[in-house]
Every structure is written in structure tokens, then in C-alpha cells.
Amino acid sequence: MIGAIAGDIIGSIYEWSNIKTKDFPLFGAACDFTDDTVCTVGIADWLITNGDLSDTLANYVLRHPTRGYGGMFRDWANQLERKPYNSWGNGSAMRVSPVAHFAKDEGEILALAEKSSAVTHSHPDGIAGAQATALTMWMARKGANADDIRQMIIDRFDYDLSQSVEEIREWYKFDVSSAGTVPQAITCALEASGYEDAIRNAVSIGGDTDTIACITGGIAEVMFRMPEEIKTTARAYLPDDMIEVVDRFSEIVASAHGQGSH
């Protein structure tokens, strides 16, 4: 999930100042992690502790309160009795990447993605965005090529993935909806030549850049070998409590799947 976290950090400074170019410093001045990272780590924590998801996410908001949370999510986290609020926003897709590393098969991927979304984003579009993101990652983990992934996502979620990054860049603007974020983020990963290129694609289309780059980064992490320098730089932005969860999650997943850390 460090790929999603790095994407969030890199994209953080361009959300309100879109640049529409791939030519920019990868970790620009004033970059920092946002709510995307907080919630992603929260999902990882939930998966490895099997705790209550709403309590886990609310606790992360309490510990990291000034990270740019959406108003409805912030209000939800501060309530004693938290109920889903039928959001169709991109918040469930931005935090779902740990699911794709943790689940053991496609059925579990889709079920856990829905569960991770429905605690807040219970609208069908919110759930679909989380599932589409996680399924894209799952297929990439299993070695599927970009064309096969694209066709599966089109068939299952009825997303329009026909446009290139260059075409999207021409018209795309700020959009917090899941349906208006996830297809574009997936395209940025599927069209890329490597992890860094994927993140540059994501930032270059504009819009909600930290979230787009977070979603794209999670996918690109499993599609390509993530440069160690980017991993190390991203980790340096995180507080100790998050590093502890990231490392523990990575160890548990690697042990479960009998492979190197994610």
C-alpha cells in the first residue's frame, strides 16, 4: 500500500493548483500525507486486527485531525453512533488498496472492498469504485495485462476506459465522485510505463490530484516494481504509528502469501 501513500503525498500540493503536465518535481515543496493516507493505513489496521472498522477509522481521524477530511466523513467520525451516509464519493476507492494485498481470492477481494466502503460510502457508486480499484490491483497481482484488466473493469462496472491519458487531460476537472475519479485513475495506471510514470499521469490530468494519484499509485505498485527511492522518501513523511502499521501489514501479507513484502 506504500504505492498509494506515495501517490497521495506526491499529489497533495496540486489538488487546488492543477498543473496539467507530467513535468514536475516528484516530491515538491510542501508535499505531505493527507486523509487518503490516514484512511488507507486505517483500512490496513482494520484488516490485520479484525477490529471494528468504524471505530478504527474514527480513531485515526482523532489521532490525525487536520489532514483534509471531507465534511461528511469528518462529521461521521466524530459521532458516537456512526452510520453509513450513502456517499458516492471517491473516499472509499482512495483507501481500499490494502484489501487487494490482504485478500486471498477474487471473491474475498470484492467482499472486503464492499465492506471497507459501506461503513461510510454505502451508495452503489461508492462501493463500485472501491471494488473496481481493488479488482484492478488483484488482476495486476495475478499477472493480467492492461488490455485484459481494462476489459474486465468495463464489463463488470460499466466504466468508460476508452480515452487515453492525453485525451482525459484536455477536459478533466475537479470531481470528487467515485464514478468521475476511479476510471481516470485506473487509466493513468494502465497506460503507464512504470510506477513513476503512472503517478505523473495521475497528477497531469488535474482534478482531485491527491486522491487520483493515491488510487493510481496503489494500482501501479502491483503492476510495476516500485523504485526504492520513492518508497523510502514516502515513508519519511509518515509518523511512527503509521510506519508501525505499514510494516506490520507488509510482514503479515508477505507471510500469508509466501512472498516478499508489499
pLDDT in tens, 161-204: 999 999 999 999 999 999 999 999 999 999 999 999 999 999 99
Going by pLDDT thresholds of 50, 70 and 90, the confidence category of residue 260 is very low
Q: Check residue 255 and give its pLDDT.
A: 86
Asked if pLDDT for residue 9 goes beyond 60, the answer is: yes
Under a CB-based contact definition with an 8 Å cutoff, are residues 174 and 207 in contact? yes
Under a CB-based contact definition with an 8 Å cutoff, are residues 109 and 100 in contact? yes
Angle at 134 between CA 63 and CA 106, to 5 degrees: 125
Nearest to 151 by CA among 143, 160, 142: 160
Q: Check residue 259 and give its pLDDT.
A: 58
Considering the entire predicted model, what is its pTM?
A: 0.96
Going by pLDDT thresholds of 50, 70 and 90, the confidence category of residue 262 is very low
Q: Sketch out the chain's domains with CATH numbers.
A: 2-17+35-257 (1.10.4080.10)
